[in-house]
Amino acid sequence: MKKLVVLTGAGMSAESGISTFRDSGGLWEQHRVEDVATIEGYIRNPQLVIDFYNERRRQLPTVKPCRGHELLAALEQDFDVTIITQNVDDLHERAGSTKVIHLHGELMKATSSRNPNDPSQIITLDADHMDIKMGDQAADGSQLRPFIVWFGEAVPEIERAAEISSEADIYVVIGTSLNVYPAAGLVQFVPDRAPIYLIDPKDVPWTAGHRYRHIKKGASEGMEELTKMLKLIAYD
């Protein structure tokens, strides 16, 4: 099967009702990035940051995967699909996608403030334990924190994501403004032979030299169109 690699951003989940960051009305108009999405902000005011992600997490049970998520999961019938997502929600998994790399962490996980990337410190939260509270401890005794990659922190999954991008036969980019590095740089790794499809209702700053085909639609409508196109080349 051909290797299909998909890079998704906040626009992927917009139709499920989760706000994007930089569109008008987006999360970064209502909250200061420096306060809630940087390691310095967390050190300054851990309660504020923990509460911000508690609020995001509590939204998850109230939303569902959109048609776009479902169509991506269905592509696994004809392609070897890996999704590299910047999203911290679990909508790709809930739609049935089996290989999902979360570059920026996962809302439903929590970890240690001292060793955030140590796998033995990472726990999965559930319906009975949705909120992180000040005083909750990780296994190493430090304050439990959201398993989110903040600005200023290393992105541990980026090397695996770059390697997978470099092996793609077909590459798809959905709903990301390509503002945030290193995620935005992944398109540079896509081999010249692989076609790239971009699904986004707006123009996106494209720095890679590689040509791409822009499907200027939202995630669900765009995925309907892309699915038809991919059926034609699945077994070429």
What is the binding site for ligand OAD (CB under 6 A)?
9-11, 14-15, 20-23, 26, 37, 86, 104, 149, 151, 175-177, 179-180, 199-202, 204, 218-219
Q: How far is the CB of 192 from ligand OAD (least distance, A)?
A: 24
Q: Of the two residues 88 and 125, which places its CB atom closer to ligand OAD in the complex?
A: 88
Q: Of the two residues 81 and 199, which places its CB atom closer to ligand OAD in the complex?
A: 199
Neighbours of 154 (CB within 10 A): 10
Neighbours of 94 (CB within 10 A): 16
- Which one-letter DSSP state was computed for residue 29? H
Q: How far is the CB of 31 from ligand OAD (least distance, A)?
A: 10
Q: How far is CA 72 from the centre of its chain?
A: 14
Q: How far is the CB of 126 from ligand OAD (least distance, A)?
A: 23
Please list the alpha-helical segments (H only) found in 112-174: 158-166
92 has catalytic annotation? no
Q: Of the two residues 169 and 174, which places its CB atom closer to ligand OAD in the complex?
A: 174
Q: Of the two residues 23 and 76, which places its CB atom closer to ligand OAD in the complex?
A: 23
Q: How far is the CB of 174 from ligand OAD (least distance, A)?
A: 6
| Annotated catalytic residue, options 102, 104, 210, 214 | 104
Euclidean distance between CA atoms 81 and 83, whole angstroms: 7
Angle, vertex CA 151, rays to CA 126 and CA 110, nearest 5: 15
Answer whether 133's CB lies under 8 Å from 21's CB.
no
- Please give the positions annotated as active site: 104
